[in-house]
Structure 1
Amino acid sequence: MNRNTLVLPAVAGLLAPVLTACGGTGSASGGGDAIVVGTTDRFTVSKDAPAPLDPAYAYDVGTWNILRQTVQTLMIQPKGEGDPVPEAAQSCGFTDTGNERYACRLRDGLTFADGDPITAGDVKFSIDRAMAIKADSGVFALLSTIDTVETKGDNEVIFHLKTADATFPYKLSTPVAGIVNPDDYAKDKLRDGFDVDGSGPYTLKAEVSGDEMTKAVFTKNPHYKGALTVNNEDVEMRSFESADAMGNALEKGDIEVMTRTMSPEQIKELSEASGGNIELVELPGLEIRYLAFNTDDPGVKAKAVRQAMAQIINRSELVSKVYGSSAEPLYSLVPASITGHSNSFFNKYGDPSVDKAKSLLTKANITTPVKLTLNYTTDHYGPATKQEFELLQKQLNAGGLFDVTIQGAAWDSFVPAERNGDYEVWGMGWFPDFPDADNYVAPFLDKDNFLKLPYANSEIRNTLIPQSRREADRLSASGSLTDIQDIVADDVPILPLWQGKQYLAARDTVTGTAYALNSSSTLQLWELSRGVGD
């Protein structure tokens, strides 16, 4: 993995605050030896999402970053890049030539944080529970290739798959496959609130105000047995209402590490500074942004409308004016750095053209201007999202073919609305569950997709996805994956916009920051420690 770490100054006024942290401020040293990490992720309990931290429900990067510290999985993505490696398991592997039978043996002496022993039965309970609950977040679909889970004694678990799935080891590294204690989690009901009990490297104490968790306090789990080396005793994660407030807290020393989501202005200013005691760490990113379509909605039901939008939107202008060097245009659901990527949208539409878009609409007898509302979330993907949608609106309306309005909503109301089918077009981001092309295809296009899109292509679902999963050598799956991307470019149920890099900023008293994020945007808090930066 390529890294570029810049040592930068804490310039006075660099990140001017506009709002204060939900969890209050106070000196980083005032909380003892805990390393204090800031985030703009918000963690709320609501009627629509009463169990945000239950592994059978959680399905966004923020909640997964809580669970990855606390709930252990059989497999884990390695420190750098590469295939997943055993974590709670001592060993795992396919036991047949068809990639349909996968067996794991647990480490000896595994226990939950409360000291209760972990058995193969607990693993089976956890997996069966997530599959049975079928939470409306759609996270259970990651386990869709499992037919049955078998145990042999207390230490061996065997997964019998419905069909070949070479990506299955990756899926066992995700929080939905986290091992939970049957004493703490009902088999047929989600666990409401912010309590999490597992066997991961940390235990969690949540500080809550009203319906929101304002601070997550992670304490090293003395019972932890796994593949990770935990380099600190305590980490605090504080939620902030804005990137500016988080940046100001870093500058003052109230926090020591700043994670997602930094604004493009912050990234630019930090990257252009020199000297000082704040480091900006730039890492390759696999995050993508896209527009999703409710293809049953009258406004976008006609494929020509969606194709015309794909023909007009200027990704290069969008990236340069809003995100600068922190992003790059994306012409497929699969990022350019992932094996199997194809520039399908560019191959089909080429450069932006109002004339070509007009031709598409005219041939389909679509009356113009087409009136649409583009919906976006105001508080989940960073402060630049509104600017992004203002520019998309301008691009689409400029040629007179569209009459687009934009509408923003807070994440806790945005998600239920898009899942209920209230939006015709909406913007979303995707942080991969694991770094494989399958994870940019199946969650959007397969049955039980997490967006609940009405779009269903039988060739993709019944032939191309299963065909791609049979290939243990992922390069050999490129043919099937290219066909999927070409179909998406033609039908446009989803319109990819850009892929982004990922950033972390830290004071030079904290080390280990180069590994604090992996390629799937997973926070690896166990990598952080105290010391003087190089």
Structure 2
Amino acid sequence: MNRKTLVLPAVVGLLAPVLAACGGADSGSGGGDAIVVGTTDRFTATKAAPAPLDPAYAYDVGTWNILRQTVQTLMIVPKGDGDPVPEAAQSCGFTDSGNERYACKLRDGLKFANGDAITAADVKFSIDRARAIKADTGVFALLSTIDTVETQGDNEVIFHLKTADATFPSKLSTPVAGIVNPDDYEKNKLREGFEVDGSGPYTLKAETDGDAITKAVFTKNPNYKGTLKVNNDEVDMVSYDDADAMDTALEKGDIDLMTRTMSPEQIKKLSDAAADSDIDLVELAGLEIRYLAFNTDAPVVKTKAVRQAMAQVINRNELVSQVYGSQAEALYSLVPASVTGHSNAFFNKYSDPSVTKAKALLTEANITTPVKLTLNYTTDHYGPATKQEFELLKKQLNDSGLFDVTVKGTAWDTFAPAERKGEYAVYGMGWFPDFPDADNFLAPFLDKDNTLNSPYTNSEIINKLIPQSRREADRISAGKSLTEIQDIVADDVPILPLWQGKQYVAANTDITGTAYALNSSATLQLWELGRGVSN
């Protein structure tokens, strides 16, 4: 089967995809057969994580991509990215000079999918609920700058913040701030299972096998009122065990589009194929990062010099070239290179990989070598290349003679709870930003109630630099504080950034809207997809 590649250039803050071939025009329309989307994301309800789709709990790209279709938020990132705009709200804005009072007026006639009217009290209930439950995923921390939520009448919500937060409108666009029906969600308890009731563009019916979703059926919500134009009546999202099975399904015509997560080999094959094709490979801007995280209380990595020595030995360029090729690039900070506020903090401190420098760090700290440790990774969440990536990291560290490393892969539904419980000393993770701001690549890992449940704390970051950066509505002006945070991270190494990657979608040429199927934060925008006439 022949294929062609469509590259969509972008600049963070104003992403403007350009599609010069079939498969991306906004010519789709509702009706017709359901559009079927393949994914390797797995959605499971386990004893350790029984409420994967509750907005007060969910905090990974897969579950958020279900919630973004079904649960409406006051604000939303617009088509093509940029600053958030009102969605369930008619208008929102700071009402004081200090950016500490934020008021929203709801759209007229808002309803949940079941027809119940939405009021300001429902918004308050939803956000207060997430803050009160404080799920162990740490997602509630996105709302940590809220002091109180006030309602005025049925259609106005006022957020009183503890401190200035220029990123607050973006936080109101995330699923943790999604509006849920108090009739379906208990105030102080997570909703277990796979039911979701909201006011978003779709309703959800989950088809399951045991404790896992096999197919998520999204049906257009007739009661939806918001800014989105829904270009289809139904989208079915099917979960596959691996990228090869998903690719086979596309080849056979069982699915119309595949996205997360394709292997580097698949992407290269699609990209190298001839131009006369009936499948388009679309390359989109992305802000995904991968990193190693440390449990800084674990004896083997508690001494900073061990973490610094790893940072000094690991060769990111070799890692990228051998595993991901042109689909990724080396990353020397938690903040991607294309985001305002980025600095190459790790390169500035460690420069090129050096065994000699790493050995000196360990010797000065009286660390006996080789340091024996295990690198833990998830086998089924970040794509099939993860195993190869960790085998190469193991080789780099062991070849230095300073480390004795083993690697261990674990399925995500076991890996994620174990990580939050602190069972791993060193482990690999990925991050898809909640919104494209440097704050969201730093605060979730370094602030109070961080998403990793990491024991690492730095009072200067928490009490001074993060609040200082959030006071700046002009994000360029926040650069000094953001740079200082990144420099501290490079010195303390609670997290070791590795690479940042691109995003890809492969779709039949009669599927329209693929240029906007994913935004830069990896948000799946199913409403953009339609069926058109193949070129």
TM-score for both structures, normalised by structure 1: 0.95
Structure 1 gaps, min length 5: 10-30
The alpha-carbon distance between structure 1 residues 5 and 398, as it changes in their structure 2 partners (threshold 3 A), is farther
Deviation of the 1:5 alpha carbon: 5.6
Deviation of the 1:180 alpha carbon: 0.3
What is the one-letter code of the residue matched to 1:117?
A: A
Does structure 2 conserve the Cα–Cα contact (< 8 Å) formed by 1:6 and 1:281?
no
The alpha-carbon distance between structure 1 residues 278 and 7, as it changes in their structure 2 partners (threshold 3 A), is farther
**1:102-158 CA distance string (max 9 Å, x none):** 000000000000000000000000000000000111100000000000000000000
Q: Distance in 1 between matches of 2:32 and 2:246?
A: 20
Structure 2 equivalent of residue 258 of structure 1: 258
Deviation of the 1:8 alpha carbon: 11
What is the one-letter code of the residue matched to 1:211?
A: D
What is the one-letter code of the residue matched to 1:474?
A: R
Q: Distance in 2 between matches of 1:532 and 1:504?
A: 19
Does structure 1 conserve the Cα–Cα contact (< 8 Å) formed by 2:22 and 2:510?
no
Structure 2 equivalent of residue 26 of structure 1: none
* SS of residue matched to 1:318: helix
Q: Distance in 2 between matches of 1:8 and 1:261?
A: 23
Residue 245 in structure 1 maps to residue 226 in structure 2: no
Structure 2 equivalent of residue 23 of structure 1: none
Correspondence list, 1:119-198, <5 A: 119-198=119-198
What is the one-letter code of the residue matched to 1:339?
A: T
Structure 2 equivalent of residue 104 of structure 1: 104
Structure 2 equivalent of residue 78 of structure 1: 78
Deviation of the 1:252 alpha carbon: 1.0
Structure 2 equivalent of residue 462 of structure 1: 463
Q: Distance in 1 between matches of 2:67 and 2:83?
A: 20
Deviation of the 1:416 alpha carbon: 1.1
Does structure 2 conserve the Cα–Cα contact (< 8 Å) formed by 1:71 and 1:175?
yes
Structure 2 equivalent of residue 282 of structure 1: 283
The alpha-carbon distance between structure 1 residues 158 and 468, as it changes in their structure 2 partners (threshold 3 A), is same
* SS of residue matched to 2:419: helix
The alpha-carbon distance between structure 1 residues 7 and 241, as it changes in their structure 2 partners (threshold 3 A), is farther
Deviation of the 1:532 alpha carbon: 2.3
* SS of residue matched to 2:299: coil
What is the one-letter code of the residue matched to 2:403?
A: F
Q: Distance in 2 between matches of 1:8 and 1:328?
A: 29
Q: Distance in 2 between matches of 1:8 and 1:248?
A: 22
**1:396-454 CA distance string (max 9 Å, x none):** 00021000000110001101111111110000000000000000000000000010110
* SS of residue matched to 2:112: coil
Structure 2 equivalent of residue 22 of structure 1: none
Q: Distance in 2 between matches of 1:527 and 1:86?
A: 18
Deviation of the 1:32 alpha carbon: 6.6
* SS of residue matched to 2:232: coil
Residue 427 in structure 1 maps to residue 428 in structure 2: yes
What is the one-letter code of the residue matched to 2:252?
A: K
Deviation of the 1:464 alpha carbon: 0.1
Q: Distance in 2 between matches of 1:284 and 1:233?
A: 27
Does structure 2 conserve the Cα–Cα contact (< 8 Å) formed by 1:467 and 1:480?
yes
What is the one-letter code of the residue matched to 2:289?
A: I
**1:484-507 CA distance string (max 9 Å, x none):** 000000000000000000000100
Q: Distance in 2 between matches of 1:5 and 1:428?
A: 32
Aligned length: 513
Does structure 2 conserve the Cα–Cα contact (< 8 Å) formed by 1:471 and 1:477?
yes
Correspondence list, 1:293-372, <5 A: 293-372=294-373
What is the one-letter code of the residue matched to 1:120?
A: A
Q: Distance in 2 between matches of 1:533 and 1:65?
A: 27
Instruction: Report the RMSD for the aligned CA atoms in angstroms.
Output: 1.3
Deviation of the 1:6 alpha carbon: 8.3
TM-score for both structures, normalised by structure 2: 0.95
Q: Distance in 1 between matches of 2:422 and 2:62?
A: 24
What is the one-letter code of the residue matched to 2:198?
A: G
Structure 2 equivalent of residue 516 of structure 1: 517
Runs of 4+ displaced beyond 2 Å = 1-9
Deviation of the 1:82 alpha carbon: 1.0
Q: Distance in 2 between matches of 1:462 and 1:321?
A: 41
